[in-house]
Amino acid sequence: METSLWSKVVQRALDRGILSETTPKVFIYHLDKLQNTWKQLFDAFPPKTLHTFALKACPVKGVLSLAFSYGFGAECASIGEVYLAKSFGCPSERIVFDSPVKTMKDLKLALDDEIYINADNFQELEKIQQLLRENEEELCNKQVRVGLRINPQIGSGLIQETSTASAQSKFGVPLKEKLEEIVECFQRYSFLKGIHVHVGSQGCTWELLEQGIRAGVDLLVQLRERFPERLQTLDIGGGLSADYDGVSQGASFEEYVSRLERVAPELFDSSLQLITEFGRRLCAKAGIFVSRVEYTKQSGNRNIVLCHIGADNFLRPVYLPKNWKHRILVLDKQGGNKLLDGREYPMIEQDIAGPLCFSGDIFATGRLLPRCEPGDWLVVLDSGAYTLSMYSRHTSQWVSAVYGFHENSNEPFQLLKKEESPEELIRFWS
């Protein structure tokens, strides 16, 4: 079902010249699927919740401006993302600035704009204090809102590289060792108004998510007893996994909320501002990456398919080859699914290789797929999150265009981001 939907999208892209021999790679988001997912999130949580969109998952203008007009705020992991969020339509009061490494200049810009800051550590709190002292006149009428990120130290889940809550994680203040100092900080810095806990991303188990959030709630309850007026905000991060194999059903937002209601009912106290920071679950399943097969070759006993799916636009399978396996469809020149169209294509094991100049630039190894030929189209499913946003400039490939697709429309394609031009590439390196 999902497969035939995406084949249809590619066929329409071919008909309209969005994909061609001269435009051999493109990202496509299914806009109706995106918005259905967002609706499920907004319906599941109480209406007062601030849902921020983790920009690092997909910083594409066309997607973000749609999200901001839908009601999302922005979770920004750098001051660059703060600029993007503002210029794509997110009001400052809905921005959460989360970078683990912030300069004085970054913090000053955020304070000037009254942006909610999640401080990563005690040194950062001291930097903020210093800025407030040194710029007292300028900042005295501003609303200063700062939360402290804690690391609940509960374990690393299924994938170490995307976990942020192991005992030795680089993120946040280690809760178990520093509880007393955390309480002292709330005493010392009256601008501290909340707690932030983000347990990790793909690979977080239920137990981990629940334990992490429970630890944040326990701390909040404890601090609220001491500072009843001040503790207003709990930011529970993102971290719901997506189903990349197309089999395991990821939990719904509704299920997530009902589990939270059981393990941490305090979250839904009306005096609390609850913040979420989902990324992957907002867009992963709604996007595909499509690449033309340029060449096929045999080398030793390997069948190699050379295409545009490289570590430039698809880093994850290269740096985490064991933990992620994206589904791939093979379509013929007209967009017919080689598995389904009734003709006989031999299934053979093929390595999908990208255009970069190192041997490790392999998207999939020994993947059993219908035999590919030059001119075929490879469709990588579930590519909507953490793909384009992790773009690498190695060998200066063009950054592809991004289109949005509306299922029931005469004008089904909408340009969400232009393909990079030679001038833009030259400017990047100048």
Question: Applying CB under 6 A, which residues contact ligand LLP?
Answer: 54, 56-57, 75, 98, 162, 198, 201-202, 237-240, 277-281, 316, 386
Name, in order, each residue with C-beta under 8 angstroms of 286's C-beta and a sequence gap of 6 or more.
29, 30, 31, 33, 34, 37, 384
Q: Which amino acid does the sequence have at 345?
A: Y
Pair 418, 43: CB distance under 8 Å: no
Least distance to ligand LLP from the beta carbon of 374, Å?
A: 30
The three-class DSSP label of residue 366 is: strand
Least distance to ligand LLP from the beta carbon of 187, Å?
A: 26
Burial 24-58 (b: 16+ CB within 10 A, else e): bbbbbbbbebbeebbeebeebbeeebbbbbbbbbb
Q: Using DSSP bridges, classify how beta strands 302-307 and 287-299 pair: parallel, antiparallel or unpaired.
A: antiparallel
Least distance to ligand LLP from the beta carbon of 27, Å?
A: 15
Q: 172 vs 335, which CB is nearer to ligand LLP?
A: 172
Kindly state the DSSP code that residue 63 receives in the 8-state scheme.
H
Least distance to ligand LLP from the beta carbon of 81, Å?
A: 11
Task: Give one word for 317, left, alpha or beta, with left for phi > 0 and alpha for psi -120 to 50.
Answer: alpha
Of the candidates 319, 255, 311, which has an alpha carbon nearest to the alpha carbon of residue 281? 255
Residue facing ligand LLP at closest CB distance:
238
Q: Which tokens hold the place of 35?
A: 């918005």
Backbone angles phi and psi of 56, in degrees to 5: -60, -20
Residues with catalytic annotation?
357
Least distance to ligand LLP from the beta carbon of 68, Å?
A: 17
Of the candidates 427, 419, 423, which has an alpha carbon nearest to the alpha carbon of residue 25? 419
Least distance to ligand LLP from the beta carbon of 210, Å?
A: 15
Task: Give one word for 382, left, alpha or beta, with left for phi > 0 and alpha for psi -120 to 50.
Answer: left
Helices H, strands E: what count in the chain? 13, 18
Which residue reads 């919740």 in tokens?
49
User: Looking at the chain, how many residues does it have?
Assistant: 430
Q: Which tokens hold the place of 147?
A: 């939360």
Q: Which tokens hold the place of 345?
A: 């294509």
Of the candidates 177, 130, 124, 164, which has an alpha carbon nearest to the alpha carbon of residue 146? 124
